[in-house]
């Protein structure tokens, strides 16, 4: 089979497997077999770039860097909907519809109002052509490379569809993904994302689509538009969208009259909290498309649709106490324990108490009656205090000065929200959390050794560092004596430990739990340095020059590398045959034209991304650094370069060159 035929075969197969897995929860092949097929397709595309397709399954993982989002006009304006919180307003809306249709029979379609980012997707001859944000309703940003990473979104429509199709829908971050992302940010002492909608919106604005892919966004279609009239009703269009393979939430319902609409609203007042995505209301649309045309539009919104919004979920209850939890990176996070109260369909006993600043701003006291909200949030949070009900004995909250776990005096780094325990070496919750992180799914993913089991082993004194995990096979006899662990479970666990030695270096580096070193940063560092020893030998300035790293991450990584415990841990992992280097031959240098020269890149460039220019410099023998000094050879300046760097370079008389001048330094052959 020739390369072109094999590439098409792989593309169709992978599209099918993606659809089965993400839309129908069906795994037809193992993860390993899927990865092998994807790797083969990537290899073919690299060997034959002229055959690569824009909607290839390889685009799911991202990698396209967009330095500036173009804008595009919407073929059909994306109008906003009128909102109401009142059932009386819905009755008035129904009366207006009845008058506008002059008494003709009509029906409605009710849909969940998903709290995400409105998106317009155009398909041409069944293939995804363009993704555009809502923008101002008439024009939006073109984010096609980013929406291609959404796994539930078909890159090719199935079956018989019109040549031109525009799909409207909502891009969202699932609640579980949002929780995981915020938990990681909290562990790292970073500010928490406000809600899943903001997180999804921020992800779509990222310039590197590989980072967007890591956010695991999803999409629900709620409208289909085509030139001419292909459908008689909105419900028929939704059914067609489903048949084409588009993800349409099964929660929509056709309602014969307003009473059925109100019944749907009441039914979902609590059921909506069971969905994987936040909703804040119900969208009601006249079903018949000709009747929609008859009712028409106002300047801002359609007369044939309205959004009913549920009130923000809130409750009032008593604050019983504050518990302080210590995370993997030492952040001490306050958690409020409440008198149980029903909120948004669940009984809430705990809520976020934010941080020391917010506790002081609210003048929060033990015994207070506090207001707790969910709204667009997943984790309940305290939003205020009912001062009129404050008891005389309410006790002001004094933030602890010492770690609640190990009594080490807390520190609060400048600019950070949380106090921290600096006892990285011996604080039990930090050690335990780092072990749980090391065995987690995104890191080593050790079969049979999940967070609960490794936490139990820590409590029993069997492990305290990731390296201790690789001593467990020698302690099999001891493990057999433990309750709730049979010989088969132990053998599976030990086999999982052995298999983890083959996990790629980037995931091992991520698994070490170094503060600020997330998945993307770990991948960039592994690709750049190709081994842990080179990373540990690099200076903070050199680390900061690596794509996606920067000063804060570099300082944290350099600090970790300087600790004797870190070196001892790495040496033990090496001795256990864990992958602490990138396998395979490093890329060969293209030339030594830039040997002995060092560069700083700043700003946005026209023809290449900053990362691509850095790779070019390194391929020709040059070095990248993150700081400007007298020893610097060149500052490469793009658009919007920081003025401070320019002034510093001028002060040191460092030559400032453009992107074109840099390229002129390279060999032309």
Query: What pLDDT sits at residue 568?
Result: 95
Q: What is the DSSP string of 192-223?
A: PPS-HHHHHHHHHT-SBHHHHHHT--EEEEEE
Least confident window among 183-192, 205-214, 242-251: 183-192
CATH code linked to domain 314-396: 2.40.50.140
The vertex-377 CA angle with 375 and 378, nearest 5°, equals 120
pLDDT given at position 360:
87
Question: Which pLDDT value is given to residue 93?
Answer: 94
* 585-630 confidence digits (pLDDT tens): 666 778 888 988 989 888 878 778 777 888 888 889 888 877 788 8
φ, ψ at 372 (rounded to 5°):
-120, 135
Taking only the tens place, the pLDDT of each residue in 41-83 is 877 877 877 777 777 777 665 555 556 678 888 888 888 888 8
User: For the ranges 203-212, 233-242, 398-407, 630-639, which has the lowest average pLDDT?
Assistant: 203-212
pLDDT band at 120 (very low <50, low <70, confident <90, very high): very high
Q: Are strands 634-637 and 656-657 parallel, antiparallel or unpaired?
A: parallel
**CA dihedral of 109, 114, 117, 120, whole degrees rounded to 10:** -20
pLDDT of residue 63: 53
Position 284 pLDDT exceeds 60: yes
Confidence at 168, pLDDT banded by 50, 70, 90: very high
The yes-or-no verdict on residue 186 having pLDDT over 70 is no
CA distance to 268, 467, 497, per residue, from 577 (Å): 54, 11, 11
Q: What CA–CA distance (Å, rounded) separates 570 from 533? A: 9
Which has the closest alpha carbon to 512: 431, 577, 402?
431
Is it the case that residue 240 has pLDDT exceeding 70?
yes
Highest mean pLDDT range out of 55-69, 237-251, 302-316, 372-386? Answer: 237-251
Instruction: Say yes or no: domain 598-664 is CATH 3.40.30.10.
Output: no
Do 638 and 610 meet the contact criterion of CB atoms below 8 Å apart?
yes
Judged by DSSP in three states, 127 sits in strand
All CATH 3.30.470.30 domain ranges in the chain, comma separated: 83-309
For the chain, give every residue range classified as CATH 1.10.287.610.
3-61
Determine the Cα angle at 485 with ends 481 and 491, to 5°.
100
Q: Identify the CATH class of 83-309.
A: alpha beta
Q: Decide if 309 is catalytic.
A: no
Rounded to 5 degrees, φ, ψ at 330 are 90, -5
User: Contact at 8 Å (CB) between 427 and 408?
Assistant: yes
For residue 283, pLDDT beyond 90: yes
Per-residue pLDDT at 299: 65
Report pLDDT for 639: 76
State how far the Cα of 173 lies from the Cα of 551, in Å rounded to an integer.
29
Q: Is pLDDT at 152 greater than 70 in this prediction? A: yes
Residue 26 is predicted with a pLDDT of: 65
Q: Which of 113, 374, 381, 645 is catalytic?
A: 113
Beta pairing, strands 253-255 & 164-172: unpaired
State how far the Cα of 347 lies from the Cα of 345, in Å rounded to an integer.
7
CA atoms within 13 A on the CB side of 579: 22
Taking the C-alpha atoms of residue 217 and residue 277, their distance in angstroms, rounded to an integer, is: 11
Alpha helices in 422-472 (DSSP H): 428-438, 451-459, 466-469
Q: What CATH number does the domain located at 3-61 have?
A: 1.10.287.610
Decide if 500 contacts 578 (C-beta within 8 A): yes
49 DSSP 8-state letter? G
Torsion, CA 71, CA 73, CA 77, CA 78, rounded to 10: -20
Q: How far is 58 from 42, CA to CA, in rounded Å?
A: 7
Nearest to 425 by CA among 472, 468, 464: 464
pLDDT digits 0-9 by tens, 389-441: 999 989 999 899 999 999 999 998 877 778 999 998 899 999 999 999 999 88
pLDDT recorded at residue 258: 95
Q: Hey, which bits of 211-292 come out as E strands?
A: 218-225, 253-255, 279-286
Distance between CA 638 and CA 223 in Å, rounded? 41
Residue intervals in the chain for CATH 1.10.150.20: 428-500, 506-575
Least confident of 72-76, 262-266, 511-515: 72-76
pLDDT at 27: 66
Residue among 515, 459, 563 nearest 328 (CA):
515
Would you identify the CATH topology of the domain 428-500?
DNA polymerase; domain 1 (1.10.150)
CB-CB contact of 654 with 598 (8 Å):
no
224 and 165 Cβ atoms separated by less than 8 Å: yes
For residues 171-200, give the mean pLDDT: 78
CATH topology of domain 506-575: DNA polymerase; domain 1 (1.10.150)
Mean pLDDT computed over every residue of the chain: 86
What's the mean pLDDT in 338-351? 82
> What distance lies between CA 41 and its chain's CA centroid?
25
List the alpha helices (DSSP H) in 80-124.
87-100
Predicted confidence at residue 16, as pLDDT, reads 78
CA–CA distance from 291 to each of 109, 236, 240, 571, 668 (Å)? 13, 14, 20, 73, 65
Q: How far apart are CA 76 and CA 133, in angstroms?
A: 13
Residue 32 pLDDT: 65
How many H-runs (helices) and E-runs (strands) does the chain carry?
Answer: 25, 23
The b/e string for 274-304 (b: 16+ C-beta within 10 A; e otherwise) is: eeebbbbbbbbbbbbbebbebbeeeeeebbb
Q: Are 58 and 38 within 8 A, CB to CB?
A: yes
Tokens of 588: 């060969």
**Could you identify the residue written with the tokens 């992180």?**
437
pLDDT band at 188 (very low <50, low <70, confident <90, very high): low
What residue has token string 């009142």? 86
Q: Which residues have C-beta within 8 Å of that of residue 5, sequence separation ≥ 6?
A: none
């Amino acid at each position: 089979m020739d390369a072109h035929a094999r590439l098409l075969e792989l593309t169709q197969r992978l599209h099918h497997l993606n659809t089965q897995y993400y839309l129908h929860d069906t795994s037809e092949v193992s993860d390993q077999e899927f990865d092998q097929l994807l790797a083969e397709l990537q290899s073919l595309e690299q060997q034959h770039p002229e055959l690569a397709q824009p909607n290839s399954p390889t685009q799911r993982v991202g990698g396209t860097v967009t330095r500036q989002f173009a804008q595009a006009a919407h073929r059909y304006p994306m109008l906003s909907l009128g909102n109401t919180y009142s059932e009386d307003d819905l009755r008035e809306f129904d009366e207006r519809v009845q008058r506008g249709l002059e008494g003709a029979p009509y029906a409605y379609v009710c849909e969940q109002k998903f709290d995400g980012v409105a998106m317009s997707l155009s398909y041409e001859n069944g293939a995804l052509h363009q993704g555009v944000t809502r923008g101002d309703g008439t024009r939006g940003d073109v984010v096609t490379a980013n929406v291609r990473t959404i796994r539930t979104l078909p890159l090719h429509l199935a079956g018989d569809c019109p040549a031109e199709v525009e799909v409207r829908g909502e891009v969202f971050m699932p609640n579980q993904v949002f929780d995981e992302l915020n938990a990681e940010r909290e562990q790292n002492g970073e500010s928490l994302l406000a809600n899943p909608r903001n997180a999804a919106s921020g992800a779509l604005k990222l310039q590197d689509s590989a980072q967007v892919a890591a956010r695991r966004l999803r999409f629900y279609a709620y409208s289909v538009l085509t030139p001419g009239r292909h459908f008689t009703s909105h419900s028929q269009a939704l059914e067609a969208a489903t048949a084409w393979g588009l993800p349409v939430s099964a929660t929509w319902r056709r309602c014969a009259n307003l009473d059925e609409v109100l019944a749907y609203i009441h039914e979902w007042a609590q059921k909506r909290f069971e969905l994987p995505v936040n909703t804040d209301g119900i969208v009601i649309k006249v079903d018949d498309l000709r009747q929609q045309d008859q009712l028409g539009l106002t300047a801002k919104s359609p007369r044939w649709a309205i959004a009913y919004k549920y009130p923000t979920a809130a409750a009032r209850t008593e604050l019983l106490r504050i518990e302080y939890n210590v995370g993997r990176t030492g952040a001490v996070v306050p958690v409020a324990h409440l008198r149980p109260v029903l909120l948004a369909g669940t009984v809430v006993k705990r809520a976020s108490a934010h941080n020391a600043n917010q506790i002081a701003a609210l003048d929060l006291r033990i015994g207070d009656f506090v207001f707790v909200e969910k709204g667009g949030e997943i984790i309940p949070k305290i939003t205020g205090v009912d001062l009129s009900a404050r008891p005389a004995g309410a006790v002001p909250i004094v933030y602890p000065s010492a770690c609640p776990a190990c009594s080490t005096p807390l520190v609060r780094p400048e600019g950070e929200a949380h106090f921290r325990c600096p006892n990285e070496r011996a604080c039990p919750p930090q050690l335990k959390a780092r072990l749980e992180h090391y065995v987690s799914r995104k890191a080593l993913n050790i079969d049979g050794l999940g967070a609960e089991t490794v936490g139990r082993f820590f409590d029993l004194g069997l492990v305290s560092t990731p390296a201790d995990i690789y001593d467990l096979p020698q302690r099999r006899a001891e493990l057999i004596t433990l309750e709730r662990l049979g010989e088969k479970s132990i053998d599976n666990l030990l086999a999982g430990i052995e298999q983890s030695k083959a996990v790629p270096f980037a995931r091992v580096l991520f698994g070490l739990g170094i503060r600020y070193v997330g998945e993307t940063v770990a991948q960039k560092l592994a690709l750049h340095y190709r081994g842990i020893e080179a990373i540990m030998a690099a200076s903070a300035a050199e680390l900061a020059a690596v794509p996606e790293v920067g000063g804060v991450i570099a300082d944290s990584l350099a600090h970790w590398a300087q600790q004797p415990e870190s070196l001892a841990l790495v040496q033990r992992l090496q001795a256990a045959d864990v992958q602490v280097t990138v396998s395979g031959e490093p890329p060969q240098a293209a030339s030594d034209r830039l040997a002995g020269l060092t560069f700083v890149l700043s700003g946005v460039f026209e023809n290449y991304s900053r990362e691509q220019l850095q790779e070019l410099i390194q391929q020709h023998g040059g070095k990248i650094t993150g700081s400007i000094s007298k020893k610097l050879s060149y500052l490469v300046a793009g658009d919007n370069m920081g003025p401070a760097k320019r002034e510093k370079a001028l002060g040191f008389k460092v030559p400032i060159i453009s992107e074109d001048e840099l390229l002129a330094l390279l060999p032309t052959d």
